[in-house]
Amino acid sequence: MVTFGCRMEVSKIKHHIMKPKGVGIALLAQYGVMPLTSFLLTKMFQLNEIQAVVVLICGCAPGGSLSNLLARLLQGDMNLSIVMTTYSTLLGLGMMPLMLYIYCRGFPNLVKVIPYLRIVGSLVIIIIGSSIGILINRYRSQYTKIIERVGFVVMFVAGVAFFIYIKYVVKGDVASVFSAPLLAISGLLPLVGYTFGYIIPALFKLNQQERRTIAMETGCQNILLGVAILRTGFHHETIGVLALFPLALICSQLIEASLFIVVFRCYQCFKRKKKDTYQPANTAEQPEVAMTVRPQDAA
């Protein structure tokens, strides 16, 4: 999260605080669409209570920093992307426990199982890390590139280590995570987020750049937060290999977003090529140049 904070600038945050329309619509999509979608999917596929709580935790998570990269590749509004991720995380202190409390009431025994205090604690840690990154970017900007590279390496190593831990220490059946219902949910959840994340701002007449940005912000959630909550908030015997579900979800996020990026880039190339091919030629008549006949030529 320090790495994420290093990408943030105070001036950009102030700009969107003064004009919060885009951020407000984005947060409506984030906390309106994703928790409801995750709840409906758990009911549709008739998941048991443990599977349902894993899906709901991921579905109610705030936006993640992966969306900033995807928004950049889609030529989105980077200021809006970064500020939305910030606001989403701050509001997550209240919204994530609230959403989990509301939707877990659809399952008889889940309301008391959710580790609300650990969720708030994890979000506080994220906010503290982001704040440190903002201060570094503001007062020691020469170190931001180094911190970003180190942060990427640490995240990659941590992901590999977590997979090895689940596979060889917990020794669960990893194939159970990739059962048909959970695979379907991991694919549908980000797809619904991307789709409605584009439609909702379109209804409010936001421009194309903002629509693409909000689509990525809605469909890409902070999966690492979900992993942290599942690891610290539940016993290994309870969750087991279901703690790997967030990794299946992040793979779906990347694959689907990559397809959108490829389609968008191809559309841009086609549009540019078409514009160059059918550009009208300059057929305006040249003004006639009056010829002056000199006396010696006439002679």
Q: Which residue has tokens 């997550």? A: 92
> What's the predicted TM-score (pTM) here?
0.78
> What does the pLDDT look like over 93-110, one tens digit per residue?
888 888 988 888 888 777
Residue 187, pLDDT score? 93
User: Which domains are assigned to the chain?
Assistant: 2-273 (1.20.1530.20)
Asked if the model's pLDDT at residue 298 lies above 50, the reply is no
91 or 10, greater pLDDT: 91
Q: 62: which 2 tokens?
A: 């705030």
Residue 16, pLDDT score? 61
Q: Which amino acid is at 21?
A: K
Nearest C-alpha neighbor of 80 from the set 193, 196, 214: 214
Q: How many alpha carbons fall within 13 Å on the CB side of residue 136?
A: 20
CA dihedral sign of residues 211, 29, 125, 188:
negative
Residue 107, pLDDT score? 80
CA dihedral sign of residues 44, 46, 49, 50:
negative
Residue 171, pLDDT score? 53
Contact 55, 41 (CB under 8 A): yes
Residue 299, pLDDT score? 46
> What does the pLDDT look like over 125-140, one tens digit per residue?
777 776 777 677 667 7
Contact 219, 257 (CB under 8 A): yes
Q: How far, in Å, CA of 175 to CA of 166, rounded?
A: 12
Q: How far, in Å, CA of 240 to CA of 172, rounded?
A: 6
